[in-house]
Amino acid sequence: MEKQLLIQAELDGELDAAGAAALAAHVRDCAACAALRADLSALSARMREGVTRFSAPASRRGAVRAEPVVPRYWGYGAAFGAGMALAAGLAAVFVLPAGVGAMPDVVSAHIRALQPGHLLDIASTDRHTVKPWFDGRLDYAPPVRDFAAAGFRLLGGRLDYVAGRPVAALVYGRDKHLIDVFVWPGAQGASETVVQGYNVIAWSQGGMNYRAVSDLNGRELASLAALLRAPDR
């Protein structure tokens, strides 16, 4: 039961990176928990994709950002029970759209990082400070670049957990928007999508997977992706 509660919390973005990593390690070795996570993730994604969303006015978004954050202190038991009851009820009422995949791990990781104290492990605008920080913490060296001159400030980085492994998360700032760029070895193709209101741009180059995630508009996020794709000078 404890693992079930943790799976629900992880899907809600309520676990920190260390907790998510520990849970992922357990899920890899536990077929029952892996199946439960897949079912809950898929159902959650279907429910979200099937709901009509409306964008708040820019003035209201600014007011919300200015308000203090009040953390949620639901007990995991209550959260899991309520979540399962809601999911069961909605599944019984609505015909869920077919072919909707699970919420990408990168979006879950980005939402988790936006909680106070989770965004940065190394805070620096100096690429020569951020890049060496990953030495010994990962089994690869992520490319680290700064694009302050183009309006994308390097803020630092952190370790996160995506796609079943520890990954580098490079954090950039654009006006009042935060951007996570997740980097790990591999080649999984390119795509652009919107998940839970967050723009996600995925591509691979130089033997690395890149996933840029932000509430920044798609056009500007694509500009950062283009900068990252360009040769380093």
**36-58 b/e with 16+ CB inside 10 Å = b?**
bbeebbebbbbbebeeeeeeeee
> Regarding predicted confidence, which is higher, 40 or 71?
40
Tell me whether residue 111 is in a domain.
Answer: yes
pLDDT at 54 over 90: no
Co-location of 55 and 162 in the same domain: no
| Structural domain harbouring 60 | 2-66+73-93
Confidence of residue 5 (pLDDT cuts 50, 70, 90): confident
Nearest to 227 by CA among 201, 188, 191, 189: 201
pLDDT for the residue numbered 55: 53
Confidence of residue 42 (pLDDT cuts 50, 70, 90): low
Co-location of 88 and 114 in the same domain: no
Residues 202 and 209: beta-carbon distance below 8 Å: yes
CATH number of domain containing 176 = 3.30.200.100
Question: In degrees rounded to 5, what are phi and psi of residue 89?
Answer: -65, -45
Tell me the pTM: 0.60
Q: Specify the long-range contacts of residues 20-28, CB closer than 8 Å, at least 24 apart.
A: 20/108, 20/109, 20/112, 20/161, 21/161, 21/166, 24/161, 24/164, 28/164
Tell me whether residue 99 is in a domain.
Answer: no
Confidence of residue 92 (pLDDT cuts 50, 70, 90): very low
pLDDT at 29 over 60: yes
| Range among 22-26, 72-76, 171-175 with highest mean pLDDT value | 171-175
Give the residues across from 152 on adjacent strands: 147
Co-location of 113 and 212 in the same domain: yes
pLDDT for the residue numbered 98: 29
Average pLDDT over residues 19-43: 72
Co-location of 88 and 188 in the same domain: no
Confidence of residue 101 (pLDDT cuts 50, 70, 90): very low
Element (H, E) at 208: strand 208-214
Co-location of 198 and 136 in the same domain: yes
DSSP 8-state class, residue 152:
B
Co-location of 133 and 163 in the same domain: yes
Residues 47 and 88: beta-carbon distance below 8 Å: no
What mean pLDDT value characterizes the chain?
Answer: 77
Co-location of 149 and 41 in the same domain: no
Q: If DSSP codes are grouped into helix, strand and coil, which group holds residue 163?
A: coil
Co-location of 110 and 225 in the same domain: yes
pLDDT at 208 over 60: yes
Tell me whether residue 217 is in a domain.
Answer: yes
Q: If DSSP codes are grouped into helix, strand and coil, which group holds residue 77?
A: helix
* Contacts of 150 by beta carbon, 8 Å cutoff, 6+ apart: 223, 227
Residues 192 and 160: beta-carbon distance below 8 Å: no
pLDDT for the residue numbered 82: 47
* Contacts of 44 by beta carbon, 8 Å cutoff, 6+ apart: 11, 87, 102, 103
Confidence of residue 198 (pLDDT cuts 50, 70, 90): very high
Confidence of residue 86 (pLDDT cuts 50, 70, 90): very low
Co-location of 127 and 193 in the same domain: yes
Number of domains the chain is built from: 2
Co-location of 112 and 216 in the same domain: yes
Tell me whether residue 171 is in a domain.
Answer: yes
Average pLDDT over residues 133-157: 96
Co-location of 84 and 121 in the same domain: no
Co-location of 164 and 82 in the same domain: no
Question: In degrees rounded to 5, what are phi and psi of residue 168?
Answer: -85, 135
